Amino acid sequence: DLVNNAEVMFETPQTVIPAHRDAGRRADSSEDPLNAIVRWCSVRAKESGDALRDMRLAIKDSVAIAGIPMTLGSATFQDFTPTIDSVVTERLLQAGAQIVATSNLDAFAFSGGADTSDNGWTSNPHDPERSAGGSSGGSAAGLYYHEVIDAAIGCDQGGSIRLPSAWCGVVGLKPTHGLVPYT
């Protein structure tokens, strides 16, 4: 029954924003010492608005970006590539943002700082021996790559944006319930 519900969730009609989509490559430790990035990529809408023009974003590796592999922090999904964009991805692309990376997270976004990602744990930018927090730790720590990332998207149901942002010393915002849908 759980599988059937998952299939229904992904059958929900969604659009794919016409965009240049380069799936890029996995990040390596020489360019990502915090292990904040799962994949460097490039996604930019062919036609878009100006509200976020030239903003370079990292998107948590649990948010669907059509054509870009998504792991959900688990080896189980290493070969999964979404065929649709999430609503937040659609909105960002329509506003002119460029997606440059997917960010690390705890497996299935289930944590509280336990660092359970099959992609390895994300280090805190202030003390690499400490955690960046979970589950959006890669989004928070990735903001320290100023030359590449201007902002990051995470997901928060129980503190998954708020904890990593506090632990990493960046601003995190959990939108009002219902403002940004979970699809």
- The candidate with the shortest Cα–Cα distance to 24, out of 100, 125, 135, is 100
Which residue out of 48, 60, 74, 86 is catalytically annotated? 60
The tokens for 84 are: 């649709």
Taking a C-beta distance cutoff of 8 angstroms, is the pair 164, 172 a contact?
Answer: yes
Residue 25: other Cβ atoms inside 10 A: 9
**For the chain, what is the radius of gyration of the CA atoms?**
15
The SS3 call for residue 27 is coil
Q: Which of 117, 123, 160, 165 is catalytic?
A: 160
Active site residue 60: yes
Helix residue ranges per DSSP H, the chain: 2-11, 87-94, 137-142, 162-168
- Other residues' Cβ atoms within 10 Å of the Cβ of residue 20: 10
User: What's the DSSP call for residue 7?
Assistant: H
Set 123, 135, 136, 165: catalytic member: 135
Catalytic sites, residue numbers: 60, 135, 160
